[in-house]
Chains A and B, each alone.
Chain A
Amino acid sequence: MTAQEVRLCGLLLQEHFGNVVEKVGTHLIRSGVLTLRALAHETKLPLDLVKKSLCVLVQHGMCTFGAGRRGPAGPVEYRINCERVFHMLRYPRYIYTAKSLYGDTGELIVEEILQRGQMTMSSTVKTVADRLTHNMPEGQSMDYSEVVSAFSQLVETHFLQRCPLASAGSSSSGAVDTPLPVATQNFLVINSYDIYSTLSQGKRRRSSEDGEADQCAAKKARTDDSECGDDRIYWQVNFQRFHLHFRDQAIISAVSCKLDQSSSEIVRTMLRMSEVTTPAHAAFTQALSANEIFRALLSSYNIARPILDQYLSLLVDDPMEFVGKTGDSGGGMYVVNLHRALANLARATLESVVQERFGSRSARIFRLLLRKRHLEQKQVEDFAMIPAKEAKDMLYKLLSENLVQLQEIPKTPDYAPSRTFYLYTVNQLPTARLLLQHSYKTVGNLMERRLYETKENKRLLEKSQRIEAILASLQATGAEAAQLTEVEEMITVPERQQLESLRHHINKLDSSENQVDETIFLLKSYINSTQASR
């Protein structure tokens, strides 16, 4: 774990779970694997607090435990899963995706499960239905079956998965260590028994509450019921599936930017058809024939068969190589080149970063070096058509930022400078890693600045919260306008301006975090794809 990653993990844990969990978490990340006693001793926290923190982390899937070095007889060892902590940065994106795919019900289901780590289906359905009913106008209530159907849809499309089974013992928890992809097949199946039992319970309870108008009384009755039958079956969010969805979205938007809307619709259809058949780390989707694609195209796109063929050949000829042709049967067999698309997207990100930080001429040099691999200084000046002095300046600046590397090729065994070629080069993968670390540092800086701004204006924020509370309670008890204005005036005009600018700054910082996270996602997917193919 790099220093920036540890810092970011610490900030994320602190934001969501407080200082105690942050201390425990960062110490565990730095040390790698620790037992409970060692952890308590080294962090100098009371043992109970450490236990509570570990419970929270295990509940959310951020900490795994297993038999230690001494085997099953020895103490249990704990390890933090850093990637899972970074996913916390992306929660709004997951929830928004669920909303766009499955509506408000799906959004609330995913939000509940994300906030609580893992939940049983019955408790999720209960909570979500209650929340929806609460937001509905008086007299209406949310039917459990709708929530159940949204839940099952999420499971069927693999956005939710079952948690791996944990054995009853503490140290013999080998089942927990099994990597998820191997056993994922079992965890994505929802038993019809689960759905039936939850549904029937829901129906029974609803009929008994039809007579009760009071919401609180209804809640009390529900909590008194015994468990639902799916007591030991927990569900969690399947982050990998969301990431595949984001990757597909990125490819489709890139195609629509580079070519046009219709070609992006064709690529969207191709990706949709191969959603469930393509394994997670595949380099290409399954081959699809042009006939199949034509049949699967929605009629709203209005693309005729010969036009489809033209678009496909256009996509294949495009230098970005999103789509490739693998055969001629069935009107032509086409695949989407996933890994190559990711590499191209990462390359575009790198080029854009250089362009925005150093100017378009430096970006030209950078692109040149990416294409031509190794160039001498003189050749760089010639190919980029930039005067020698400026080219030298830009090259050295890029070199000092580590975006460009120098490769020495000696003519003689002693690396005498007069008899060595010095070639400039750019390696895409190491540069992507470098930018990823920069992005982690950026998000860390943004979060720290936001915390600083909040701390600086804490007094003002508390005052405004108190005044809002007073106003709300006055309005609830039906006060007159004069009293309300009097209370409102307790915040002076300069304070109001300060509050406004504070809100503006915090919104900007939050928005920036979301945007940097998109870059993090792209670069991380690219790096993972190169590792998978090895």
Chain B
Amino acid sequence: MAGSRGRGRSQFSFSVDALGFGRGDSLPSSAHTPSPLFPPMQFRPVPLHTGEEVDYMLALKQELRASSKNLPFHIKAARTKTDVAHYSDKYQNGETKNNCIEWSPDWSRMPKELCIKVRKPRKTGAKPQLTRKPKVAAGKEEVLQKLETLEKREEEQHSEEEEDEEKKKQNEEEPDADEDYDEEDLEDETDYIMSYFDNGEDFGADSDDNMDEAVY
């Protein structure tokens, strides 16, 4: 209030010395930069817990992480079609497509609008193959064209079926490194390991700017 301003003018409720600077001094300069990203720590952190329980939970965590990548709940977007048709496309039919779902949820528990085509599971793939074989045997006198189309369909379902078989194996067993190897070999019926196959997309993509040597 104006009245009491004259009396006891510079008496604060705390002693001024405690502030760390005297009267009339300028305030310490304020920092103009944000605080550092990794501020230096005064004390070292306490070491982590150790013990059997901790190790077991660590192993569980890493296993869960690895196995969740193989479950059908791990959704990957389908590769968008590039302009050029590749030879390898014929052998890579089994990749995920956007419009089918890999597991079959209970549609009665979900809203109807989420209903989406379920990818054909292995067992229904097996039956048509069985019924086709007698047909092929019986229709010996059929036109060669029909045999060829049937063969192609068998190939597709065979590759689809083997992939589903692998997915089931991966779901039920502990994931181990064998899978990569088996999948590469069994994915299609070629003799070549798929990862060795080079699409040729990377050729010429590297810049030729710093080429001092000659190209052979």
A contacts, CB < 8 Å to B:
15-21, 36, 45-46, 48-49, 51-56, 58-60, 65, 75-76, 91-93, 95-96, 111, 115-117, 127, 130-131, 134, 163, 166, 168-171, 173, 223-224, 232, 234, 356-359, 376-378, 388-389, 392, 411-412, 414, 417-422, 465-466, 468-470, 472-473, 507-508, 510-515
Contact = CB atoms under 8 A, between A and B. Distances in A.
B114 A507 contact: no
Interface in B36-69: 41-43, 45-46, 48-49, 53-54, 56-58, 60-62, 64-65, 67-68
Given A93-B57, A468-B177, A510-B62, A412 B1 contact: yes
Nearest to A107: B60
B74 A511 contact: no
Contacts of A359: 42-43
Interface string B62-86: 1011011001011111000000000
A232 B99 contact: no
Contacts of A116: 71, 73
A388 B64 CA distance: 53
B33 interface: no
19 contacts: A15-B68, A52-B75, A53-B75, A55-B116, A91-B60, A92-B61, A96-B60, A223-B123, A356-B43, A356-B46, A392-B20, A469-B177, A469-B181, A472-B176, A472-B181, A510-B58, A511-B48, A511-B49, A515-B48
B101 A376 contact: no
Given A93-B57, A378-B15, A469-B177, 9 more contacts: A17-B68, A49-B75, A51-B113, A52-B75, A96-B56, A168-B108, A232-B106, A358-B42, A473-B181
Interface string B84-107: 000000000000001101000110
Interface stretch (B6-14, B137-145, B153-161, B202-210): B6-14
Contacts of B41: 357
Interface residues of B, number: 56
5 closest cross-chain pairs (CB), A and B: A170-B111, A469-B181, A92-B60, A170-B112, A166-B109
B173 interface: yes
A398 to B, nearest CB: 13
A388 B172 contact: no
Given A115-B71, A170-B111, A419-B13, A92 B180 contact: no
Given A130-B172, A166-B108, A469-B180, A59 B14 contact: no
A422 B56 CA distance: 51
B110 interface: yes
A36 B114 contact: yes
A59 B173 CA distance: 22
A454 to B, nearest CB: 10
Contact of B177 (A36, A472, A508): A472
B178 A473 contact: yes
Q: Which of B54, B76, B123, B181 has the most CB of A within 10 A?
A: B181
A376 B18 CA distance: 12
A92 B71 contact: no
A17 B74 contact: yes
B64 A115 contact: yes
B43 A49 contact: no
A418 B58 contact: no
Contacts of B62: 510
A62 to B, nearest CB: 11
A356 B14 contact: no
A96 B57 contact: yes
Given A418-B10, A420-B13, A134 B77 contact: no
B43 A48 contact: no
Nearest to A392: B18
Contacts of B106: 232, 234
A421 B12 CA distance: 9
